[in-house]
Amino acid sequence: MKQQADRIHSGRLMATIEKSAEIGMLPNGGLCRLTLTDEDKEMRDLFFQWMNESGLEVRIDDLGNMYGRRGGKNNRLAPVLIGSHLDTQPKGGKFDGILGVLGALEVIRSLNDHGIETERPIEIVNFTNEEGARFEPSMLGSGVIAHVFNKQLMMNTKDQNGFTFGEELARIGYQGSIENRPKDIFCYLELHIEQGAILEDNHKTIGIVTGIQGMNWLEVSVNGKTSHTGTTPMHKRKDAVLHTAKLITKIYELAEKVPDLLIAVGRINASPNVINSIAGATVFSVDIRHPDDFVRERFTTMLKESLATMTFLEEMEISIKEINKEETEVFSEDILKITEEAAKKHGYSSLKMMSGAGHDAKYLNRLAPTGMIFIPSVNGVSHCEEEYSTSDDIDKGVQVLFDTVIRLANKKEW
C-alpha cells in the first residue's frame, strides 16, 4: 500500500521501537539501559547505523550527545533540532525518551520517502544521561551545553561503583569533540510520553506542553541521640526516626492546603540503622513542585520555618539544605500554536498542559525557542516496566511531530 504524501510510516516506526526494546530487555518487557553501559553502547551503535542509512551527517560531541543532520535548501540557516534520550531507568519502560529519538528518526525517514526538502537543516539528537539513574544529576548532556552544569564536574561524577562519567564515556567510544556541539539552534522540539494521566483522564490524544514546572529539592537532617532500645525509657529518648515521622506528616498536611502543589519524601536514611538501637540521626529528601515560582518559593520558606519550629520544641536539632532548585520554564507560544494546528489538521483532540517532569527541553529552552508534544501513557505510569503507550497514540504523536517540524523548518524567522 502506497504511503500518503503527508504521512509517516507507522509500521516502520513501531518496528524500530521494538528493535530498540530488545537492547537491555528485562523479564517483564521493560528496559535497563543505563547511561554509558554496554547496553547503552549497543543502542548508540544501532542508532548511529540508522542515521547513516538515512543519509544524515552524524557527529558526536564531547559529552557523548549524538546528532544527525539533514541539510536544507539554505544550510547557512540555523537548524531545527528534534530528539530526546535513549537511556533508561534501572527498571524502565521502552518508550520514555526513546519515542522522542526514534520518532525524530521516523520524521527524517518520511521526509526522505516523500522527497521533501526544507528551507532549514533539521538535526536529530540523542542526549546523554537524561535519566540520571547512573550518574547524578539528570539531564547532564543537555545541561552542560546549556551552561547549567560544569563539564569537568560532569566528567568526574561517579556512579555507585566508583566509575567516573569521563572514564565510561571513553570506554564505550563515544567521547567526541566540543566542536560538534550545536553552535546555533533555530528551535528545539521534543516528543515524549506524558508519564502521567492527564491526557487519558481528559480523553485527549495530544498534549501541547506549555512549559515545565519548577522544583525545589531539600535535604533535611535530624539529630537526636542514639541509645539502646531495651534500656532507654520512652520519655527519655531523642528518637530521630519518630521525630522524622512527625515532620513528614506535617509536610504532607501543609502541602494539601496549596492548590496544584506536588510534594514527595522519596529518600530516607537512618543512623545507625540497626534493629536494637534508637536512631540518633536521619536524613530525608523533600521534592517540591509547582508551576508558579512565587507559590513554590513561598511554600518552601514556610515549610522550612515550620519544620525548624517543630524540632526546636522537641529539643532536637535540624538542618535543611537546598540541594537543587529549578525555575519554571515557559515554552514558545509560536511553537505551541503550530503544534496545535498540526493536531487539528488530522482531527486529533489536544490539551494544553504543563509538564510535571523534567526533560531535556527544559535546558534547551534557554538556548532557543522550545516546544514539547505529549502522547498518553496508559494508566499514567512511567519509570517502570508496565509503562505503555498504544501504537495508535504513538502514530498520532509522531505525525504531529512530522507536520510541526516541516512548518518550523520552512520558517524563515520568528
Please state, in angstroms and as integers, the Cα–Cα distance from residue 69 to each residue in 19, 66, 96, 409, following that order: 23, 10, 23, 13
Task: Please check whether residues 179 and 319 belong to one and the same domain.
Answer: no
Cell representation of residue 19: 528493535
Task: Please check whether residues 75 and 185 belong to one and the same domain.
Answer: yes
- Is pLDDT of 6 > 90? no
Task: Please check whether residues 84 and 120 belong to one and the same domain.
Answer: yes
Task: Please check whether residues 206 and 65 belong to one and the same domain.
Answer: yes
Rounded mean pLDDT of 207-226? 96
pLDDT tier at 392, thresholds 50, 70, 90 = very high
pLDDT tier at 324, thresholds 50, 70, 90 = confident
Show the domain range for 300. 214-326
**Spatial separation of the C-alpha atoms in residues 279 and 222, rounded to whole Å:** 10
pTM to 2 decimal places: 0.90
Domain harbouring 30, CATH code: 3.40.630.10
**How many structural domains compose the chain?**
2
Rounded mean pLDDT of 335-349? 98
Task: Please check whether residues 173 and 250 belong to one and the same domain.
Answer: no
Cell representation of residue 368: 532557543
Q: Which of 262, 293, 326 is the endpoint of a domain?
A: 326
Residue 1 lies in a domain: no
Task: Please check whether residues 334 and 298 belong to one and the same domain.
Answer: no
Question: Residue 144 is which amino acid?
Answer: V
- DSSP-derived secondary structure letter, 388: -
Q: Which of 301, 326, 351 is the endpoint of a domain?
A: 326
Strand partners, 321: 219
Task: Please check whether residues 256 and 360 belong to one and the same domain.
Answer: no
What is the pLDDT, as a whole number, of residue 3?
A: 61
Give the three-state DSSP class for 207: strand
Q: Which of 326, 361, 380 is the endpoint of a domain?
A: 326
Task: Please check whether residues 35 and 139 belong to one and the same domain.
Answer: yes
Task: Please check whether residues 305 and 362 belong to one and the same domain.
Answer: no
Task: Please check whether residues 336 and 255 belong to one and the same domain.
Answer: no
- Is pLDDT of 26 > 50? yes
Task: Please check whether residues 240 and 273 belong to one and the same domain.
Answer: yes
- DSSP of 16-60, one letter per residue? HHHHHTTTTB-TTS-B---TTSHHHHHHHHHHHHHHHHTT-EEEE
Strand partners, 66: 60, 126
